[in-house]
Amino acid sequence: MPHSLEETLTRAGARVTPQRRSIIALLAASSDHPTAEILHLRLRERGVPVSLATVYRTLRVLCQAGLVQEHDFGDGALRFEADRGDQHGHLVDLSQGGVFDFVDDRLTRLLGDIADHHGYGVVASRVSILARPLGSTTLTPLAPRLALLSGANA
C-alpha cells in the first residue's frame, strides 16, 4: 500500500512544506524529465515563491525519500522525475534532447534472465538508450563526448 507524501517524508526525517508539495506535484505532472533550473522556472511561472537553492535542497530530500528519481543522461544536467513505482526505460534523443519513457516486456524479461543467470533477482533497473533518429548523421554536442567515454567513433 503506497504511503502518503506526509508519511513518506516523515519516515525520511523531513517535514512537509508547501515548496515540497509544489515540486512533487509538478514532477508528477511532468513527462519531460526537467532539470532543477527548469523546475524552478515553472514554479515561478505558477506563482510559487521558491528559490533555486530551495529547489535543489528539496530535490535532494525527495530523492532520499524515494519520491523522486535523479537521472544523468550524459548531457551535463541532472534531470528528475517522480518515482511512479514502475519499471521503465528512457530513450534519449541526442538530436533534439528529448527524453521518452518506454516499457518493453522483452527488455524486462532479458534483464531478469541476465540477473538470474548470475544468481540474482532484479529489484530495480535503469535503462537509458542514447540514440539519434535513423538516417541522422548530425553530431550533437553530447555525441562526441559520449564517443570519447565509450571509446567509439561517433
- The enclosing domain of 108 has a CATH number of 3.30.1490.190
Q: 152 and 91 share a domain?
A: yes
Last residue of a domain, one of 54, 85, 116: 85
Phi, then psi, of 39 in degrees rounded to 5: -60, -45
Is residue 6 domain-shared with residue 67, that is, in the same domain? Answer: yes
In a 13 Å sphere around the CA of 32, the CA atoms on its Cβ side amount to 10
71 and 105 within one domain: no
CA angle 114, 134, 145 (to 5 degrees): 70
Tens digit of each residue's pLDDT, the chain (154 residues): 356 667 777 787 778 888 888 888 899 888 889 999 999 999 999 999 999 999 999 999 889 888 889 998 887 889 999 887 777 888 888 888 888 888 888 998 999 999 999 999 998 888 888 888 887 665 554 444 444 343 444 3
User: Whole-angstrom Cα distance, residue 108 to residue 106?
Assistant: 5
Residues 71 and 132 in one domain: no
For residues 41 and 100, state if they share a domain.
Answer: no
Statement to judge: residues 66 and 111 lie in one domain: no
Based on the fold, state whether residues 28 and 100 are members of the same structural domain.
no
Q: What is the pLDDT of residue 150?
A: 38
Length in residues, the chain: 154
Asked whether residue 26 falls in the same domain as residue 81, the answer is yes
DSSP structure string for 1-37 = -PPPHHHHHHHTT----HHHHHHHHHHHH-SS---HH
Q: Where residue 57 sits, what CATH number does that domain have?
A: 1.10.10.10
Domain range for 122: 86-154
Task: Using alpha carbons, select from 63, 53, 97 the residue that is nearest to residue 77.
Answer: 97
The continuous run of DSSP H or E covering 93 comes out as strand 89-93
CA 3 from centre of chain: 21
